[in-house]
Structure 1
Amino acid sequence: MLNPGRVLLVHPLGYRACAASADISRIANIMPPLGLASIAAYLERRGIRATIVDCYARPGSDRAIRDHLLAERPAFLGISCTTSSFLDGIRIAEAARAALPGIRTVFGGPHVSALKEALFPRFPAMDLAVVGEGEETLSELIASGSGSPGNIRGIVFREGREGIARFSGFRDREIELDTLPFPAYENLDGFPDSYKLPIFNYPRAPNTSCISSRGCPYTCSYCDRSVFRRSFRHNSAEYLYEHLRYLKERFGIRHVNFYDDQFTFHRKRVEAFTGMMIDRPLGMTFNCAVRAEHVDPELLRRMKAAGCWMVSLGIETGDERLLAGHRQNADLGRIAGTIRMIKRAGIRTKGLLMMGLPGETEETIRRSMDYVFSLPIDDFNLAKFTPFPGSPIYETIRELGDFDEDWEKMDCMHFQFVTKGMTAARLEERYRDFYRSHFMRPRVLMGYAAMLWRSPGSWLRFARNMGDFLEFARTNRRLMDETC
């Protein structure tokens, strides 16, 4: 007999557990599955017991999943997937159905929100899918016992004897974020110590990530819009302050990374929040991401006084013509001025770039390197462009170059798309050149040396994993032992 008041929520690893110890992206950054934690908190407020198994934080959790299924016999298994973790999610669903016949598998996340019904004919282990935000939809689904999923908005379900997939349509309204409980961090095994922000991206531990908004008002070609679509909502300053206070008092958190696309989009909110942090200090610091259009010297001064330690800013490419083809307000002069403004405010800066956009050439890569190296950037992240389902460019990507749509490798760590005029081998070579040139610059080396006292915990992590970091510097590729 299955228990209708219980659900197991799983965050897949995305690849074989034996490869996790050599995955440099995982070693450098283990982010809590905040979406699942938010759903768990919402369900528990409605009397539904929600357990989370995070396979990314704890690889090799197959036995833990099976043991929980047999002991608790939940009626539902919820699996939240990105594109690269989707097939691992299918594997987990198949194993769950074999261990506990009758359990209903419910998939969510950006991959299923983008592809919806198209996935179901290929993957019989999918019983249902949640499209968009999961809190209200999954709660209604569990409360209904999945007897009439077609009556619940935001669901893809199988209909009739042939099991044809149908989408019930988008929900009529969006969630007001201040009505949600704080995520159920306590349901994450080992929180906060099991989770780590990117190395050299924080001054103190324990630390964690936090989301204070959903969606983005912009329409960049490469961004997945499948979950929140065109919406942009944010928590109030009061909610945000109380969220941080909860993290400090309950878990001892000392630094938070706001994992928002546009933290400063609504200036009045940031002014109110920073005012609270200045007037009633929590003894915490934070990072955030901004666009050049939405910061100024006075706002940065307030953010610094409130504890802002680092600001990330999307650059994408140092070639303005290429940039203009993929995002609005492609003004590299303005971006450069904003980066210098952030540095003058005494805040660490991080540039976010990608290589391999449609239209990329040897010349655009050279311009990107020249541009980035001319700026006072302390750290940067160079992603490999990946055309995700749900992004505007996905629909026409095959007209722009060669696209190997291997979902397991669509993690921004592989060149699955190769634009016309380039080769994958040459992109890999130039990618290595970019990182190597960055780390050989004296100013950059001095900056990392300063992290000995600005972020001592990062240096300890670096020392413990030195072999893996040095191997990454040599190859810049995820290390997967084919024989494991």
Structure 2
Amino acid sequence: MKILLFSCPDATHPLFPRFSKNPQLGLCMLAAAVKDLAEVKVADLSLRREDVRAGIREAMAAVQPDLVGISAMTFQYETAKKIGAFVRSLTPGLPLVLGGYHASLAYEDIARDPGQPFDFISRGEGEVVFRELVLALAREGDPKSIPGLSARDGSSFRHNPSRPVEPLAALPLPDRGARLWQGYHIFEKPFDHIESSRGCTMPCTFCSITRHYGRNYRTYGIPRILEDVRAAYAAGGRELFFVDDNITLDVKRFEAICDALLGLGLPDLKFTTQGSVAGFYDRPELIRKMARAGFNLVFLGIENMSPRNLAYYKKGEIAQKTEWVLRELHAHDLMVMGGFILGSPTDTREDILHQFEFMRKWSIDSFLIQILTPYPGTPLTEGLERDGYIVNRDLRRYSGFFATVRTDTLSSYELDFIKWKHQPYYRDPKWFFTAPAAKLYPWQLVATEFRRRALEYFTEKFWTLLGGEKLAFRKYMAGHLNANCFFGEKIAPEWPDLSPAPAGDPRRVPNEKPACPAG
């Protein structure tokens, strides 16, 4: 049997493709899980964004598969359907499997979607489910009884019982050799992904991890982690990203990993990870060990600096702790990408501007500023749905970059406009003197990025002079929205609600002033 696994080309943020090409570790894990049963290739369409249809043709011709799998997040689902339909146009009748977070959390909606082409939906952790599916198809058995699998049954789907997660020790190393194409990088440095754990036990209301895995935390042994690091290094990776859901959940273990990485003796190998404020706070020894081990960037889940919003997100009292963590990370030349979430139900214009001021004050190296998104399965989605805050159900906009909710005082249009106009995208000059990124990145990269941003700045000024801020804003939103369109379609920016909750609406904050006009 020959198997071809596609990942979707859609980027979470429109800026990401220009400075990085991120590998898809999950599909390499699937390839490893069935390596003894089939010939498997991974076709990462993020490496063929310029012409996705040509990339699909290239992969299909190279592999001539008997089975095709597609992995997608929520905002990639529409693209996944188009990939599946295009594959079917090339090879009619070819079995198609959909997997990933969206498949796991919205499988019932997918099964009811008359436009989807899939025969199977793999739910939850995929390695064992996919292996059992391949075994069943190879032996002409009945895949409809496999736990964790939804299978087409005539015009509907049969949803088998869920499968409990497996111990990670049972999983093989990812098969990076299955990649059909190469070219992963971050800021021109060869880039790869590794993992040391899966899952999280924190109660954050905006996150779907606990619905995907359950509230648990499973780890690989340190010898296995080091073996994977060596394998990624041998494959060419020189910057490795630990994709753990929350590596700081067990600080002592993380410190032991840092000690082990230092012992590898690979000075040209650097590491990136994501972590929580609570995990780093008041742990200077961890931060020192990270710096010595070669970590140079942390994606830090700051989320918000409003105590009210932090309580809504169930993040705990971390606002003051965030400042300590930022100081310590920067003191050890660890760059910070700050993750922020705007647009909670009670957010006002002033609340959002306060977040932007905090970003400027602390010279955070880079930002991932998202607007609260009602992903399937998150604890807060039910409340947003019940109380009428969800205003846009076009899943193509569910990347966090586009507003799909309103607040008590701001429409989705106003949320998008305020973020566009006021986010600290064009750096305060002091950033070049205080942020580690300005001195750690090669000056050529900083200069290139500066030129790009200057061009974008003057382009926006041109449209502003031509037709005002609203025209410039719409051009900006349309450009970024259509950056994830690959099959000839064009999407117009739209905001179904162009006014905040009316006076007297129970969702409106008492005594709140009317929403400020956008701009």
TM range, smaller chain: 0.7 to 0.9
Q: 1:446-476, CA deviations, whole angstroms, 9 ceiling, x for partnerless residues? A: 3469636533463376378567754798756
TM-score normalised by length of structure 2: 0.81
1:151 matched to which residue of 2?
A: 145
Is 1:445 matched with 2:441? no
1:14/1:453 CA distance change after superposition, 3 Å: closer
1:332/1:64 CA distance change after superposition, 3 Å: closer
1:395/1:291 CA distance change after superposition, 3 Å: same
Alignment of 1:78-117 (within 5 A): 78-117=69-108
2:506 matched to which residue of 1?
A: none
1:468/1:81 CA distance change after superposition, 3 Å: farther
Alignment of 1:373-452 (within 5 A): 373-375=360-362, 377-398=364-385, 399-436=387-424, 439-447=426-434, 451=438
2:348 matched to which residue of 1?
A: 361
1:138 matched to which residue of 2?
A: 130
- Picking from 18, 28, 35, the partner of 1:37 is 28
Secondary structure at the aligned position of 1:353 is classed as strand
- Picking from 222, 226, 242, the partner of 1:237 is 222
Secondary structure at the aligned position of 2:347 is classed as coil
Is 1:304 matched with 2:306? no
Secondary structure at the aligned position of 2:97 is classed as strand
Alignment of 1:12-411 (within 5 A): 12-14=8-10, 23-44=14-35, 46-59=36-49, 60-66=51-57, 68-69=59-60, 72-122=63-113, 123-145=115-137, 147-159=141-153, 162-172=154-164, 174-191=165-182, 194-197=183-186, 205-225=189-209, 226-251=211-236, 253-283=237-267, 284-295=269-280, 296-375=283-362, 377-398=364-385, 399-411=387-399
Q: 1:314-354, CA deviations, whole angstroms, 9 ceiling, x for partnerless residues? A: 11112111221112313311222222232333422332102
1:445/1:435 CA distance change after superposition, 3 Å: farther
Relative contact order, higher structure (CA 8 A, sep 6+): 1
Measured in 2, the distance between the counterparts of 1:239 and 1:427 equals 45
TM-score normalised by length of structure 1: 0.86
2:5 matched to which residue of 1?
A: 9
Measured in 2, the distance between the counterparts of 1:471 and 1:150 equals 57
CA contact (8 A) 2:335 2:436 kept: no
Secondary structure at the aligned position of 1:363 is classed as helix
2:511 matched to which residue of 1?
A: none
Measured in 2, the distance between the counterparts of 1:79 and 1:28 equals 25
Offset at residue 71 of structure 1 (A): 6.5
Q: Judge which range, 132-141 or 142-151, deviates more.
A: 142-151
Measured in 1, the distance between the counterparts of 2:62 and 2:294 equals 45
**Structure 2: unaligned runs, 5 residues or longer:** 462-472, 491-519
- Specify the code of the residue in structure 1 equivalent to 2:220: N
CA contact (8 A) 2:176 2:235 kept: no
CA contact (8 A) 1:397 1:403 kept: no
Q: 1:400-425, CA deviations, whole angstroms, 9 ceiling, x for partnerless residues? A: 52420101121122112122210233
CA contact (8 A) 1:248 1:282 kept: no
Secondary structure at the aligned position of 1:422 is classed as coil
CA contact (8 A) 1:216 1:232 kept: yes
CA contact (8 A) 1:384 1:412 kept: yes
Measured in 2, the distance between the counterparts of 1:224 and 1:33 equals 19
Secondary structure at the aligned position of 1:240 is classed as helix
- Specify the code of the residue in structure 2 equivalent to 1:340: R
CA contact (8 A) 2:43 2:181 kept: no
- Specify the code of the residue in structure 1 equivalent to 2:414: R
CA contact (8 A) 1:435 1:473 kept: no
Q: 1:45-103, CA deviations, whole angstroms, 9 ceiling, x for partnerless residues? A: x2311112212221224244345546654221101011121112112222323332331
Offset at residue 266 of structure 1 (A): 1.6
Measured in 2, the distance between the counterparts of 1:479 and 1:88 equals 13
1:337/1:464 CA distance change after superposition, 3 Å: closer
Secondary structure at the aligned position of 1:78 is classed as strand
Measured in 1, the distance between the counterparts of 2:166 and 2:175 equals 18
Offset at residue 431 of structure 1 (A): 0.8
Secondary structure at the aligned position of 1:36 is classed as helix
**Structure 1: unaligned runs, 5 residues or longer:** none
Measured in 2, the distance between the counterparts of 1:38 and 1:461 equals 35
1:345/1:85 CA distance change after superposition, 3 Å: same
Q: Judge which range, 209-218 or 104-113, deviates more.
A: 209-218
Offset at residue 132 of structure 1 (A): 0.7
Offset at residue 304 of structure 1 (A): 1.2
CA contact (8 A) 1:29 1:196 kept: yes
1:65/1:367 CA distance change after superposition, 3 Å: closer
1:188/1:448 CA distance change after superposition, 3 Å: farther
Secondary structure at the aligned position of 1:330 is classed as coil
Percent identity, aligned pairs only?
23
